[in-house]
Amino acid sequence: MPANLVNLIMPIGFIVIFYFLLIRPQQKKDKQLKEMRGNLKVGDEVVTIGGLVGKVFSVSEEIVTVEVGGDRNKLHIEKWAIGKVKNK
């Protein structure tokens, strides 16, 4: 094998390994988060990325209204700030 070909194969190999170990798993995680946020419905118990826990009161295209606390205060939160939906 010529030395030039070996020098070309090594960086390509590193790029492929980098893609399968870092980029692809992150894309899968982003897709799951987007799907979860798109499937929010009234009554779901959610946790925001800031740690607030509450129940979804209403959902619009970009804003989610969440009831929190004993007084049932309502907070308007953007969808991207929802970290996870707790199991029912």
**Residue ranges per structural domain of the chain:** 1-39, 41-88
Q: What is the pLDDT of residue 54?
A: 95
Report, at the CATH architecture level, how domain 41-88 is classified. Answer: Roll (2.30)
Query: What mean pLDDT is predicted for residues 48-75?
Result: 95
Sequence-separated (6 or more) residues with CB below 8 Å from residue 66: 46, 48, 52, 54, 55, 56, 57, 74, 75, 77
Query: What mean pLDDT is predicted for residues 72-86?
Result: 95
- Residue 53: which of 81, 28, 14 has the closest Cα? 81
46 vs 43: CA distance, rounded Å: 9
Question: Mean pLDDT of all residues in the chain?
Answer: 92
pLDDT band at 46 (very low <50, low <70, confident <90, very high): very high
Question: At residue 88, does pLDDT exceed 60?
Answer: no
Q: What is the pLDDT of residue 76?
A: 97
Please state whether the predicted TM-score (pTM) of the whole model is above 0.85: no
